[in-house]
Amino acid sequence: MKKIAFAFVVLTTLSACQKEVGTQAWCDDLATKKKSEWKAQEAIDYAKHCLLQDAIGSEAWCNDLEEKPKGDWSTNDATSYAKHCVF
């Protein structure tokens, strides 16, 4: 049981160091990385969040979400808004 708890703590700590996929910082980091080093999922996420939509936490994304009725926000929208637009 202690090993499982320790593994959970380690994984949680390590995942906290990574930038959230789709955020402006993540888009900027990936844009500076050589495209030959991108993974397939990174390319898909980059296209979705950085090219086709505004990056999560960008000023345009925050403004668009503010105009959307709060009842239509997903849990992820609310969490990301609080994390990137309020604080």
Inside any domain, residue 15: no
| Residue 76 in domain | yes
pLDDT of residue 4: 57
Q: Is the model's pTM score more than 0.85?
A: no
Mean pLDDT per segment of 10 residues, for the chain of length 87 residues?
52 60 91 93 93 89 93 93 89
Judge whether 14 lies within some domain: no
Number of structural domains the chain divides into: 1
For residue 69, is it within any domain?
A: yes
pLDDT at residue number 2: 57
Residue that has been written with the tokens 């609310």 in this structure: 78
CB 42 within 8 A of CB 30: yes
Specify if 73 maps to a domain: yes
What is the predicted pLDDT for the residue at 17? 64
Helix ranges (H only) for the chain are: 2-16, 24-32, 40-46, 59-67, 75-81
Specify if 33 maps to a domain.
Answer: yes
Specify the pLDDT at position 3. 55
Distance CA 42, CA 82 (A): 24
Instruction: Confirm whether 16 is domain-assigned.
Output: no
Boundaries of domain holding 63:
21-86
Residue 4 is assigned to a structural domain of this protein: no
pLDDT score recorded for residue 7:
47
**CA 67 – CA 61 distance, rounded (Å):** 10
